[in-house]
Structure 1
């Protein structure tokens, strides 16, 4: 399971020279990356990640320090992103394309039916630059949540992930993609805002992704 999934898992990152000037007037000339996750769904170079990952590259706040959006395979082979095919802010999904040339890519199949509560799940992602970390768990909840522009269906899982896992595929026991990591939310005790009770780990189900592909929408 791990070998199969990790070969189709990629690192997606914007990159560029910082250029920020500190309080002493010294300019940072380091080259920075902001790694997140993504996965391959087509051997011709089609990949899925989060809307907020791609948006982090194109927003006005980053137009001087982030000059490239790149994809890195597990073996270190790196490609520049040639095109953003679909961007859906409501469902926090983006489909991007690279040109793999002579490189053979491994792709993951997308499940046509959503998982149910209690179903086992697996994830390979890049939490806080711990690249290709493996975790497992189960579907713990299914709900709908309001977003600007509409509602979206969401699932919660118990498998661990953290910042850097955005855009990773959630996999069922057969190796099919059943969802895409979106966010985490810390749930705290109502009487003590500093007391964490649990962390909600949310993903976008595969049905939302397939609907987006079938409709071919570009939502900004």
Structure 2
């Protein structure tokens, strides 16, 4: 009788243990959630830059956006005249690559006065330095935003939070979605990214930008293909490294840290394309301007 009682208790404990495990599993399944957080450190970085931009605009120490628009028209599809030396670099580890890109990647923003508060705000885009004297690259669509908003000026911010005024558009290509700009460095020499002479399908690449204001965000992938845009008849390429809104104009580099492209756009592909209902998202293409196109707007120094 005593043995039977012990067996009975043991059975109860086993059953309780199984039931407890099941409950824990059920609770875990029902409490898993995706938290919608703001960009990590992004708001603080952008807010600090906006304060500095506000001071520059208030003191009239910026280049008016209207003047930059005139430059854009004057220097449309012209060679910038900037001389760049192509240099071979050593391969880098992932950590080395991050710091290599961070030193030369910029946050690019057009300043505008908010219609809901008295503050100056910055739009979000990316760019990078190609010459130590303050020559930078971004997209054409970054310097030609919607005319529905009145912009004061265009500014570039480095990873240390230093704000630079964009003073001139040296070259602008709408077909290639490229813009080469001059910023006022006050004599400071900047860290420039070397440019590759061409880009190779299948090679490993890294991208840095500020997607959704996640500042200095790096991803890795490969060049998945090269093709010619059917509408603009210009060479493009796609990569598998992730990027999104705010990364426009960011650098894409090979495993030696040499620029092989410039982030340009994304294109979504759905199962129901061509029908009334789009269906499920199947493929999000990451479109990049090849460095071979950028090189056409630069002079190679001997």
Please, what TM-score do these two structures have when normalized by structure 2? 0.64
Give the corresponding residue for 1:50.
139
Secondary structure of 2:230 counterpart: strand
What is the deviation of 1:103? 2.6
CA distance in 1, matches of 2:225, 2:278: 24
CA distance in 2, matches of 1:163, 1:193: 21
Q: Structure 1: which 4+ aligned runs deviate by more than 6 Å?
A: none
Give the corresponding residue for 1:126.
210
Give the corresponding residue for 1:79.
164
**Runs of 5+ unmatched residues, structure 2:** 1-96
Aligned: 1:95 with 2:180:
yes
Rg bigger for which structure?
2
| Residue 194 (structure 1) aligned to one of 279, 286, 295 | 279
What is the deviation of 1:146? 3.0
Give the corresponding residue for 1:179.
261
CA distance in 1, matches of 2:217, 2:184: 26
Give the corresponding residue for 2:250.
168
Give the corresponding residue for 1:41.
130
Aligned: 1:142 with 2:229:
no
Question: Which deviations, in whole Å up to 9, do the C-alpha atoms of 1:48-96 show, x marking residues without a partner?
Answer: 000000011xx5322x2x2110000110000110000000000000001
Residue 198 of structure 2 contacts residue 290 of structure 2 at CA under 8 Å; is this kept in 1? no
Secondary structure of 1:81 counterpart: strand
CA distance in 2, matches of 1:164, 1:34: 9
| Residue 157 (structure 1) aligned to one of 221, 239, 255 | 239
What is the deviation of 1:102? 3.8
CA distance in 2, matches of 1:93, 1:180: 8
Give the corresponding residue for 2:107.
11
Q: Which has the higher strand share?
A: 1
Please, what TM-score do these two structures have when normalized by structure 1? 0.87
CA distance in 1, matches of 2:175, 2:245: 20
Residue 138 of structure 2 contacts residue 248 of structure 2 at CA under 8 Å; is this kept in 1? yes
Residue 268 of structure 2 contacts residue 281 of structure 2 at CA under 8 Å; is this kept in 1? yes
Give the corresponding residue for 2:19.
none
Q: Which has the higher helix share?
A: 2
CA distance in 1, matches of 2:193, 2:163: 19
**Runs of 5+ unmatched residues, structure 1:** 20-26, 215-220
What is the deviation of 1:114? 1.8
Moved more, 201-210 or 106-115: 106-115
Aligned: 1:30 with 2:119:
yes
CA distance in 1, matches of 2:133, 2:118: 35
